[in-house]
Structure 1
Amino acid sequence: MPPLSSFTPPFSSPSSRASVVAALRGAGCVFAEDEAELILAAARTPDELADLVDRRVTGLPLELVLGWAEFRGLRVAVEPGVFVPRRRTEFLVERALAHVPDASVVVDLCCGSGAVGAALAAALGPVELHAADIEPAAVRCARRNLREAGGHVHAGDLFEALPVDLRGRVDILAANVPYVPTDEVGLLPAEAREHEPLLALDGGTDGLDVLRRVVTQAPGWLAPGGCLLIETSERQAPAAVEAFIRGGLRARLAVSGEWFAHVVIGTMS
């Protein structure tokens, strides 16, 4: 395939980096130059380039335009109907690795694309990796992303999806649960609100409904020395910590100023 610059696309198609940047900037893309480079690299023909730019300027998230999201140095496949992993969630992965650096059994609950599980497996080496989600599109996507790591991806509601023989054996239980309060879902950026599944965003009245469900059952699944990690918001952090304590876990809050990330870490009392 010749380089993109050698193509002579139709007059109506983006024909250069400058025109792609201009189209993206006109659509309000803050990082138009960076996005243009990624889109230009992804396009294989002039028509495909025109289509990718059109999809982006009409509001499709860049990750869905490209078909992948960057997460802790990995290219994680994403597709429509799947929650796009946020870079701030890399902090959850870092805290998990710091807490249990020799983990051998890992569970990625509410896995979405499986980005957290993939990142943990990449850092830990060979592990017994399980992931679960209730969304069929997420399960399909996670199976693609976790195949190389030998991960097992299960369809179902939280712990109901997991094999019962995992009980008492999980070293790292990462649960990137939805935590947006129901009344605030409508305030999310359009890219999330219009293109990601509601179940992956809506955390109930105060945003902590799913977190409480996970915390209540987590102690029965953790191995000695294992930990539960859940991302939350700054405002919800005190209530999230209290929920961990009520669930029978020792809890502490880890905060990253760089990523503005808040992760509650729970261990057995």
Structure 2
Amino acid sequence: MPLLSPLFDSVVTALRSAGCVFAEDEAELILSTARTPDDVAIMVDRRVAGLPLEHVLGWAGFHGLRVAVEPGVFVPRRRTEFLVDQAVALARDVCLVVDLCCGSGAVGAALAASLGGPELHAADIDPAAVRCARRNVEPFAGHVYEGDLFAALPDTLRGRVDVLAANVPYVPTDEVGLLPAEARDHEPLVALDGGSDGLDILRRVVAEAPEWLAPGGCLLVETSERQAPRAVETFTRSGLASRLAVSDELYANVVIGTKV
């Protein structure tokens, strides 16, 4: 849809009145996505009501891809692109990638696109996320499974995984209520709540990861700056050669463990 100035101005005004800090940018995205003026009105109303912009648009930009995002599904964060970059920098002759706690499947899709189309598998416990992820990994011939962490994966993958990306929930339970309303009210709790200290799911993933990794395979998990030292210790105790990668620009912390 052409960005007609009167319509653009009215959308910006509505978004700004609702408290959208980047009203001009959001208006441009809405107008470029909508097919009709009625679509524009519906999308603006949903955004003003507090729905995340990505849910309004039906997609999110992630690592150069346009990733489908449905209501009720975790929205991929820009900082998680740093996890993808770290995996790509480490990867050599990657044959098999697993995206655990995959949400929309954005990480798996980005890895597949960046690594030249390795065999791709993804899993999530949330049925809505699984449905959404299948849309995003289908172009890469990926497979998505519903279930609890490794229990969802085919046993034939055990000991063969070159890159295991696990964007686990890591918000401490008592801090979920402090999240922005867009996340707190519109994203699934199972994708946010990481237990009392935020590391419950991370511990479960790290405990089983060595059984699934190929020799030299890598596990990459995003965490917070505050949690990073304990996360690194958890990796080390599991027998993985561990290190922390940090992006100050993206406020991203990724723990990387390699099966020696």
| SS of equivalent residue, structure 2 residue 139 | coil
Q: Does the 8 A contact of 2:91 with 2:163 survive in 1? A: yes
The structure 2 residue matched to 1:102, chosen from 93, 99, 109, is 93
1:1-269 mapped onto 2 (5 Å cutoff)? 3=2, 5=4, 16-269=7-260
1:237-261 CA distance string (max 9 Å, x none):
0010011111221110000011010
Bigger drift between 101-110 and 141-150 goes to 101-110
CA RMSD of aligned residues (A): 1.2
CA distance in 1, matches of 2:110, 2:93: 15
Amino acid of the structure 2 residue aligned with 1:169: R
Q: Which structure has the bigger radius of gyration?
A: 1
Residue 221 of structure 1, CA deviation: 0.4
CA distance in 2, matches of 1:101, 1:71: 23
CA distance in 2, matches of 1:128, 1:99: 17
Bigger drift between 242-251 and 232-241 goes to 242-251
| SS of equivalent residue, structure 2 residue 232 | helix
CA distance in 1, matches of 2:186, 2:30: 19
| SS of equivalent residue, structure 1 residue 183 | helix
| SS of equivalent residue, structure 1 residue 85 | coil
CA distance in 1, matches of 2:38, 2:89: 46
CA distance in 2, matches of 1:102, 1:193: 40
Residue 126 of structure 1, CA deviation: 2.2
Given the two structures, how large is their TM-score scaled by the length of structure 2? 0.98
CA distance in 1, matches of 2:3, 2:162: 47
CA distance in 2, matches of 1:170, 1:98: 17
1:18-56 CA distance string (max 9 Å, x none):
111111111111110000001011122221111110100
CA distance in 2, matches of 1:37, 1:81: 24
Q: Does the 8 A contact of 1:106 with 1:173 survive in 2? A: yes
Given the two structures, how large is their TM-score scaled by the length of structure 1? 0.94
Q: Does the 8 A contact of 1:103 with 1:172 survive in 2? A: yes
Amino acid of the structure 1 residue aligned with 2:18: A
1:153-172 CA distance string (max 9 Å, x none):
01100000001011110000
Question: Unaligned stretches of 5+ in structure 2?
Answer: none
Q: Does the 8 A contact of 2:218 with 2:259 survive in 1? A: yes
1:149-205 CA distance string (max 9 Å, x none):
000001100000001011110000000000000000000000000000000000000
Question: Unaligned stretches of 5+ in structure 1?
Answer: 7-14
Residue 3 of structure 1, CA deviation: 4.5
Q: Does the 8 A contact of 2:71 with 2:186 survive in 1? A: yes
Amino acid of the structure 2 residue aligned with 1:187: L
Q: What fraction of aligned residue pairs are identical, expressed as a percent?
A: 76
CA distance in 1, matches of 2:255, 2:142: 25
